[in-house]
């Protein structure tokens, strides 16, 4: 005979108060993304709208997460899990939410050489279901290089001044100038660059079949033009130097580029973005933020 197990969660609460969110944080679980299995951490919860109920049923949320192991992560699967959360808390909860944090590994080709390597993108999926329906947000972080346009202009001025000094009164030949341009004695100054980050909070529109994670990362990297690289030979490094020179960026420039590119994306209803240039000129960061919402038709 099964022993009687007291069920405290089902008792009436002595202190009656509805709660915004109750659940579990940091649950380890495997996901399937792009056909690959990857490790994730989940925060799963519901609102506790029945003020008189003592508690929610954590085990029901935990067990509902097992769906995520079996199928490709996408809007439909997230909806099923959140439907399970609410169905298993009928009468207790009206809102369910799920946050998944994981690293997406994407293979990226080198700029010139026939090489490739893996790049890690920290990602979060935030899903919420209530009377208004399902809301999905993708949070993506991507790293890129930013070369300061002010520093580049100041460096060019120094190079001009050195040119004037080195060839004062002379008529340098093509060969002289060519040699001078290839020397560190001629090119006396270089602009500073920094590893920079863009944090994107992307609200997905309803009705998408899949999570457009790769597409949105590609779009953001193309807009910036200087994404950090994986496998790099000298030819790739030279191409990267050219990309940096052709994409000089203050943090404001990077934020505007990303804003313009993301506002064109059909998959999005709204977004917020933050770019952080981890300055090498200063010990503090330069930061710009922007947000956008699709206008009602
Ligand atoms: N609600 C709640 N449960 C907690 C908490 N900390 C641990 N738990 C435990 O989570 C476990 C699972 O709770 P339930 O889902 O209600 O488990 P159960 O009663 O066996 O499952 P059901 O029959 O489906 O209700 C219980 O053993 C709780 O004690 C907490 O802070 N709140």
pLDDT digits (tens, 9 = 90+) for 77-97: 999 999 999 999 999 999 999
In a domain, 5, yes or no: no
24 lines ligand 1 (CB under 6 A): no
Selected residue with higher pLDDT from 34 and 260: 260
Tell whether 284 and 225 lie within a shared domain.
Answer: yes
The SS3 assignment for 179 reads helix
Where among 129, 158, 181 does a domain terminate?
181
Atom 7 of ligand 1: nearest residue by CA position:
58
The SS3 assignment for 8 reads helix
Give the chain's radius of gyration (CA, Å): 26
Tell whether 81 and 169 lie within a shared domain.
Answer: no
pLDDT digits (tens, 9 = 90+) for 125-143: 999 999 999 999 999 999 9
Total domains, the chain:
2
Q: Which atom of ligand 1 is nearest to the CA of 57?
A: 15
- Residue 247: pLDDT band (50, 70, 90) is very high
ipTM: 0.88
pLDDT digits (tens, 9 = 90+) for 65-81: 999 999 999 999 999 99
Q: Which of 124, 93, 79 is nearest to 23 (CA)?
A: 93
Is 2 a residue whose pLDDT tops 70? no
Taking the C-alpha atoms of residue 175 and residue 250, their distance in angstroms, rounded to an integer, is 36
59 lines ligand 1 (CB under 6 A): yes
Tell whether 97 and 74 lie within a shared domain.
Answer: yes
**Average confidence score pLDDT of the chain:** 95
Residues 6+ apart with CB under 8 A from 206: 133, 134
Greatest Cα pair distance in the chain: 106
Q: Which domain holds residue 176?
A: 149-181
Instruction: Identify which of 4, 9, 48, 91 to mutate to test ligand 1's pocket (most ligand atoms within 8 A of the CB).
Output: 9
Kindly state the tokens that stand for 161: 């001044």
Tell whether 123 and 156 lie within a shared domain.
Answer: no
Tell whether 285 and 204 lie within a shared domain.
Answer: yes
In a domain, 11, yes or no: no
Interval 28-46 mean pLDDT: 95
């Amino acid at each position: 005979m099964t022993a009687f197990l007291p069920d405290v969660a089902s008792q009436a609460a002595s202190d009656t108060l509805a709660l915004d969110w109750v659940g579990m944080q940091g649950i380890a679980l495997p996901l399937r993304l792009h056909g690959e299995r990857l490790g994730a951490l989940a925060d799963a919860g519901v609102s506790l709208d029945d003020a008189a109920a003592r508690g929610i049923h954590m085990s029901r949320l935990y067990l509902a997460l097992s769906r995520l192991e079996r199928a490709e992560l996408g809007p439909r699967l997230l909806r099923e899990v959140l439907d399970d959360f609410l169905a298993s808390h009928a009468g207790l909860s009206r809102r369910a939410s799920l946050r998944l944090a994981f690293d997406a590994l994407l293979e990226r080709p080198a700029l010139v050489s026939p090489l490739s390597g893996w790049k890690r993108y920290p990602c979060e999926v935030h899903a919420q279901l209530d009377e208004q329906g399902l809301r999905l947000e993708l949070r993506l972080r991507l790293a890129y290089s930013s070369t300061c346009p002010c520093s580049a202009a100041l460096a060019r001025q120094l190079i001009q001044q050195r040119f004037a000094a080195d060839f004062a009164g002379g008529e340098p030949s093509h060969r002289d100038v060519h040699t001078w341009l290839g020397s560190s004695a001629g090119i006396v100054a270089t602009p500073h660059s920094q590893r920079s980050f863009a944090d994107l909070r992307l609200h997905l529109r309803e009705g998408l079949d899949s999570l457009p994670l790769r597409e949105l990362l590609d779009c953001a990297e193309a807009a910036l033009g200087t994404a950090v690289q994986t496998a790099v030979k000298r030819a790739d490094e030279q191409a990267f130097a050219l990309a940096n020179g052709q994409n000089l960026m203050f943090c404001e420039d990077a934020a505007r580029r990303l804003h313009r590119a993301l506002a064109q994306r059909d998959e999005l209803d709204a977004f917020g973005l933050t770019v952080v240039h981890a300055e090498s000129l200063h010990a503090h960061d330069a930061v710009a933020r922007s947000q956008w919402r699709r206008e009602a038709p």
